[in-house]
Amino acid sequence: MSSISEETLRQTIVEIGRRMYAKGFVAANDGNISVRLDDNRILTTPTGVSKGYLEAEKMVVVDLQGKPLSGGRPSTELPLHLFIYQERPDVHAVVHAHPPFATGFATAGLALDKCVLAEVIVTIGTIPLAAYGTPSTEELPNTLKAYIHTCEAFLMANHGVVTVGKDLMEAYFKMERVEHYAKIIFIARALGGERVLPKEAVEKLYDLREVYGEKSLNPGCYACYHECIGEACSNHEVKYDPQAPDYFGEIVEKVLASVR
């Protein structure tokens, strides 16, 4: 488990909360942050507190089933975090926020899943759009089921964004990247639309993923699965399989197998 002290983890959550609030990723008391302390304990933000004004000693410790062990009441979005930790042993931190550009895409029903920017392909890969689920209920984690094993960042329809990482800063930086990416795509669309990178360029980026610390779990680009754009798409062969199931996760598995 983490060699970082619990005190440092508490301070890091405070710092991430400040940054998210200062950047306008959250308003009022929105958003939540959590990190694994050990195999069965999670440190998370309390409910009803602005992320811009968190205090290290007021964080909440819960077990993997959500039972409070110390501190006050945890975030109402705790089931979302617990679901991710239960499904992904490799994930050690989860960040949830409502950054306006990325949430705008999520609210317009648009995923960020084309191969467009090198940094995003290398560090995050596909950013799918999960269906709407009522916040603070079991509905919300259920919407991530199809994507949780193959993605690192998720748009949640009509709600916001959740990112995961092997540590707190990685999960937070993914949130920054998603919002920055959404802003760029928004501008590109105002200028006539983003151009998808050609297959050869994306394949070179697959190799580069080893160089970056934050290697994406999937190489990205499933945007045109249902409406294939042809050879220009990095995953044309995979997607143009008439037998292929209409299920995102299985498609990603196929792509992962082909690039390993």
Question: What is residue 115's DSSP assignment?
Answer: S
Q: Quote the radius of gyration of the chain (alpha carbons, Å).
A: 18
- Of 33-41, 105-113, 154-162, 187-195, the segment contacting Zn ion by CB under 5 A is 154-162
Least CB distance to Zn ion at residue 137 (A): 12
**Sequence-separated (6 or more) residues with CB below 8 Å from residue 171:** 33, 93, 94, 95, 163, 164, 165
User: In the complex with Zn ion, which residue's Cβ is closer, 155 or 224?
Assistant: 155
Q: Does 133 bind Zn ion (CB under 5 A)?
A: no
Of the listed 6, 7, 55, 77, which one is catalytic?
Answer: 77
Q: Give how many residues touch Zn ion by CB under 5 A.
A: 1
Alpha-carbon distances, residue 3 vs 8, 59, 169, 182 (angstroms): 10, 19, 15, 34
Choose the stretch contacting Zn ion; rule: CB under 5 A; options: 152-160, 187-195, 214-222, 244-252.
Answer: 152-160
Pick between residue 97 and residue 223 the one whose CB is nearest to Zn ion: 97
Q: Which of residues 31-90 bind Zn ion (CB under 5 A)?
A: none
Contact region for Zn ion (CB under 5 A) — 58-66, 153-161, 222-230, 234-242? Answer: 153-161
Q: What is the largest CA-CA distance in the chain?
A: 55
Q: Which is nearer to Zn ion, 128 or 160 (CB)?
A: 160
- The DSSP H or E segment spanning 62 is strand 60-63
Under a CB-based contact definition with an 8 Å cutoff, are residues 248 and 147 in contact? yes
What secondary structure letter does DSSP report for 155?
A: E
Question: Which residue has the CB atom at the shortest distance from Zn ion?
Answer: 160
179 in catalytic set: no
d(CA 27, CA 98): 8
Residue 6 CB, nearest approach to Zn ion (Å): 26
165-194 positions binding Zn ion, by CB under 5 A? none
Cβ count within 10 A of residue 22: 11
Closest by Cα among 132, 127, 230 to 184: 127
Nearer to Zn ion, 133 or 160 (CB): 160
Single residue of 99, 133, 160, 219 touching Zn ion by CB under 5 A: 160
Residues at the contact surface with Zn ion, assessed by CB under 5 A:
160
User: Which residues form the catalytic set?
Assistant: 77
